[in-house]
């Protein structure tokens, strides 16, 4: 059993207030303030870091139709990485929803409703297409609402389309895109081409690999 020393406890009780007073008045301020001056105010009083943002003009394909606007994302995060962070919403500014012509300062598109994201700026297109595989696979996709998408999926040599899609969740990059929008749906019908888009493959009804053109 540990031995106690009553006189030591009484001395500590009397000395503690004086010690605390000396510490709290040292240099005319509190100990925390003194440490703050020594180490820098950010250490003792941390402030949230402001993350630089960018906006990219884009189109978002949803089962209900198009949403046009500018995607807000961190400046130093690649666009595809940002899309695949699986945040619940894509945050858009300066938004219009065809066929209406009015604009909205802000509009949040539910991630699960975003079938495809299409950049409309050259720099974003170049970023999306950089570092892809060297073997182009022609693919054809059936999307919600009867939309048909034809385009190339660029993979590494020896990698199969089925294996790539099996292990890749979220958005994948499709190049040389042709979108065929049907009559009677939520879209103005027609055939449209895009250099590149990010397709949320899990939202597709199905996909097939087309024969290689001679």
**DSSP H or E stretch at residue 12:** helix 6-25
* pLDDT one-digit tens code per residue, 151-162: 999 999 988 888
**Could you give the count of Cα atoms lying within 13 Å of 76 in the half-sphere of its Cβ?**
3
pTM for the model stands at 0.74
- Phi/psi for 125 (5° steps) reads -60, -45
Q: List beta partners, residue 179.
A: 149, 192
- List the strands of the sheet with 190-200, edge to edge: 103-110, 89-96, 65-74, 53-62, 116-119, 190-200, 171-181, 147-155, 135-143, 206-209
Question: Is 147 in contact with 179 (CB distance < 8 Å)?
Answer: yes
- Structural domains present in the chain: 6-44 (no CATH), 53-113 (no CATH), 125-209 (2.30.30.100)
Residue 39 confidence (pLDDT) above 90: no
Structure tokens at 114: 């975003």
Tens-place pLDDT, residues 107-116: 999 999 999 9
More reliable by pLDDT, 56 or 168: 56
Q: What is the pLDDT of residue 1?
A: 54
The pLDDT assigned to 47 comes to 65
Res 101 pLDDT > 50: yes
pLDDT at position 167 is 79
For 44-74, the pLDDT digits (tens) are: 455 667 889 999 999 999 999 999 999 999 9
pLDDT tens, position by position, 183-204 = 877 778 899 999 999 999 999 9
Q: Are 150 and 138 in contact (CB under 8 A)?
A: yes
- Distance from C-alpha of 152 to C-alpha of 156, rounded to nearest angstrom: 13
φ, ψ of residue 56 in degrees (nearest 5)? -125, 125
Q: Please state, in angstroms and rounded to a whole number, the distance separating the CA atoms of residues 151 and 68.
A: 22
d(CA 109, CA 90) in angstroms, rounded, equals: 5
């Amino acid at each position: 059993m540990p031995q106690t020393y009553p006189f030591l406890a009484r001395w500590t009780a009397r000395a503690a207030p004086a010690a605390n007073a000396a510490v709290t008045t040292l240099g005319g301020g509190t100990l925390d303030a003194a440490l703050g001056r020594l180490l820098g105010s950010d250490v003792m009083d941390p402030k949230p870091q402001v993350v630089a943002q960018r906006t990219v003009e884009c189109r978002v394909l949803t089962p209900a139709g198009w949403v046009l606007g500018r995607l807000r994302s961190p400046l130093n995060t690649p666009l595809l990485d940002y899309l695949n962070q699986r945040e619940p919403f894509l945050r858009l500014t300066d938004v219009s929803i065809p066929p209406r012509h009015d604009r909205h300062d802000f509009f949040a598109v539910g991630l699960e409703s975003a079938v495809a994201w299409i950049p409309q700026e050259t720099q974003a297109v170049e970023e999306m297409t950089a570092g892809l595989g060297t073997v182009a696979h022609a693919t054809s996709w059936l999307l919600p609402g009867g939309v048909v998408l034809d385009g190339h999926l660029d993979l590494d040599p020896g990698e199969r389309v089925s294996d790539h899609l099996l292990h890749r969740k979220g958005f994948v990059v499709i190049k040389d895109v042709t979108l065929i929008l049907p009559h009677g749906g939520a879209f103005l019908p027609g055939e449209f081409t895009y250099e590149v888009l990010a397709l949320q493959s899990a939202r597709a009804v199905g996909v097939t690999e087309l024969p290689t053109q001679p």
